[in-house]
Amino acid sequence: MSADMTGLWISSGAYQAMVEEANRCYPLETGGVLVGYFAPGGEPVVYAVVGPGPAAVHKRTRFTPDHSWQCNELDILFEGSAGLWTYMGDWHTHPDGIPQMSWLDRRTLQSIAKHADAKTPRPIMVIGGGNEQGWTWLGHQYCAGRLLGLSVTSQTHNLRTFDCC
């Protein structure tokens, strides 16, 4: 993977879905999963997002997704893309906050990377900070980590949208 990776590609539809979900749940936190693939040069390409699910629990500073529902939606997207689109990581909001990773976000990103079933050794976490007047989104990618406290190394990426399908 390129060390000078500076962008995370996301379809305009996926981006719009995150903004709409963020506004719908504001001032509570929400999120979901990122679905797409890693380009040959290593840049992440997000084609779709899956929301939190109907049984998700939203609170001011955290949310618990409807994991079973999300897994079912991931299966549908995987099959519909003939296996091209896979789980890439998570996205969530920091209402009235900034799109930087908290200690819990760092720990979660490291857990995803080390979870064999996720098959995502360099997962992405996209965080939206802001409110209904505007959201700032940043992508973070797990690079390497040491469990010294909760230190996790990651790269921050600018989001670039593209139109598809």
Using an 8 Å Cβ cutoff, are 161 and 13 in contact? no
The whole-number pLDDT of residue 147 equals 36
Res. 28: pLDDT tops 60: yes
Q: What digits encode the pLDDT tens for the residues 128-159?
A: 999 999 999 888 888 776 433 333 444 556 67
pLDDT of 5 > 70? The answer is no
Question: Given CA atoms 53, 59, 61, 62 in this order, what sign does their dihedral have?
Answer: negative
Q: What is the pLDDT of residue 42?
A: 81
DSSP class of residue 36 equals E
For the chain, domains (ranges, CATH) are 7-162 (3.40.140.10)
